[in-house]
Amino acid sequence: MLIPLNEPEPLVALGLQQDEPLLREDGSRGGFSSAGFRRSLGFYAEMFRNDWAPTVGGAQISNVWTEFGNGRFAFYISGPWNIGEFKRRLPPERQNDWMTAPLPGPDGPGASTAGGSSLVIFGSSRRQQAAWRLVEYLSEPQVQLRLHELTGNLPPRRSAWRSEQLAGDRHARAFRDQLERVKPAPKVPEWERIVNEMQLAAEAVVRGRMDIEEATRVLDRKVDAILEKRRWLLSRGKNG
């Protein structure tokens, strides 16, 4: 399987499948020393120790479509945007050789990350009615199907999935199933920095520079430092 060490999304998904949150105390401290995340990190590292996945980064793969078509790897964790890419980039003789599947979990079908974009209206906007009309328009099933056709992004409305366009797409079915089991990443502005630290900690474990206990302890310490300002802001809010 291909799990590039510089792409932390698979590890994030494994962490979100656990009962314990990735961040604790209202998102102000790391929760990576929990039994759940240690279990996720252990499973992640095991895939490399068992030689199920090579210890490479994304830059060491020419491109995923060519390498998949050449048989260098047979399993890859990705998003729905790659459905169109695999259809366009794989040679015709390989088009019947691939299929999508939802992520498994510890006890059956598992959760994955809830990505995508949000439509918001600023409270201070002077054009709120016009903005709301745009949100309504973009939320219409036919418009969402057109966006899917143009970009590969999945419609969030269940009614859109009843169309022949999507219902008959065998590669999209796994993502429709997965959408019923998604979890959002922690809603803190520092999340991208935290994800970067997660990736570095995971690579240290995979390459044998740290064991899981040390890596998660160091990760929590670094994340707590990143979230210091958030704790300060929360304390001021609670104290009025």
> What is the chain's pLDDT, residue by residue, as a tens digit (240 residues)?
999 998 899 999 999 999 999 999 999 999 999 999 999 999 999 999 999 998 887 667 778 888 888 888 888 898 888 888 899 998 888 899 999 999 999 888 999 998 777 888 999 999 999 999 999 999 999 999 998 888 888 898 999 999 988 888 999 999 999 999 999 999 999 999 999 999 999 999 999 999 999 999 999 999 999 999 999 999 888 544
In 3D space, the residue among 130, 128, 159, 129 whose CA is nearest the CA of residue 144 turns out to be 159
Report yes or no: 104 and 17 within 8 Å, Cβ to Cβ: no
- CATH number at 9-114+185-238: 3.40.190.10
The one-letter amino acid at 228:
E
Taking the model in full, what pTM does it have? 0.85
> What are the Cα distances from residue 147, in Å, to 8, 79, 86, 156?
27, 16, 19, 11
pLDDT of residue 238: 58
Alpha helices in the chain, H assignment, sequence order: 9-16, 35-49, 64-69, 81-89, 128-138, 141-151, 164-167, 173-178, 191-206, 212-226, 228-238
For the chain, give every residue range classified as CATH 3.40.190.10.
Answer: 9-114+185-238
pLDDT of residue 58: 64
pLDDT of residue 135: 94
